[in-house]
Chains A and B, each alone.
Chain A
Amino acid sequence: AQKITQTQPGMFVQEKEAVTLDCTYDTSDQSYGLFWYKQPSSGEMIFLIYQGSYDEQNATEGRYSLNFQKARKSANLVISASQLGDSAMYFCAMRDSPHPYDYKLSFGAGTTVTVRA
């Protein structure tokens, strides 16, 4: 079963506007972590933001914030004041196996964001 679902294959956003990227997850663990990565056209994966399942506050990192709704199992990424350099593919990922020696992440299919001037 798919652990991470990103339903938006591609999105367009106007420069300086905010954009929300959807991510839903599936896990039966109580303890898990959610990550967002950015992949520009150069191909390198860049870590953006992390949310732990027990974190009471939504995570924020500069222009990135995570809208974490635990009951709905969603972890949407919000990019505020979009810039042309935000054009990239964005991946949601989860670690839901906090057991020794099991540090793998499950990734979604990704969402391509194109920022228009």
Chain B
Amino acid sequence: DVKVTQSSRYLVKRTGEKVFLECVQDMDHENMFWYRQDPGLGLRLIYFSYDVKMKEKGDIPEGYSVSREKKERFSLILESASTNQTSMYLCASSLNFGDTYNEQFFGPGTRLTVL
């Protein structure tokens, strides 16, 4: 079974802190994604990566950065956390397929609260 793990289920940080969210997948997937989920807005893509050291901006990259030094690990970084970044963060991974089928496998999510 594909397994995607995230470093924390719940996290509480203070405004201005640097925050690292870690995601690890064990199925050798090329693609990895970071989403945030807010009520009424669904999932919005922050960043994704299709290979080691490669990254692409999603729909809402402002205030975030990412790092992918190893294939299995994709980190989301909040350089200076703000209260409007309080949200549920979901990591996902998938294989590279040439057609439209691209099932993404999700981690359990990290609920981040910024005070």
Contacts and interface: CB of A to CB of B under 8 A. Distances in A.
Nearest to B31: A103
Given A43-B88, A45-B90, A104-B45, A33 B109 contact: no
Interface residues of A, number: 32
A98 B99 contact: yes
A109 B42 CA distance: 4
Interface residues of B, number: 34
B40 A52 contact: no
Contacts of A101: 50-51, 54, 56, 96
A84 interface: no
Interface stretch (B65-73, B75-83, B100-108): B100-108
A50 B103 contact: yes
Contacts of B50: 101, 103
A109 B33 CA distance: 18
A31 B99 contact: yes
Contact of A107 (B31, B42, B56, B109): B42
B43 A107 contact: yes
A109 B40 contact: yes
B100 A33 contact: yes
Given A43-B109, A44-B108, A104-B33, A110 B42 contact: yes
A109 B50 CA distance: 25
Contacts of A11: none
A68 interface: no
16 contacts: A33-B101, A45-B90, A45-B92, A45-B106, A47-B103, A47-B104, A50-B101, A95-B100, A98-B100, A101-B51, A101-B54, A103-B50, A103-B102, A105-B45, A108-B42, A109-B41
Interface of B: 31, 33, 35, 40-45, 48, 50-51, 54, 56, 58, 88, 90, 92, 94, 96-109, 111
Which are the 9 A-B pairs with shortest beta-carbon distances?
A33-B100, A45-B106, A107-B43, A109-B42, A107-B42, A43-B109, A101-B50, A103-B102, A103-B31
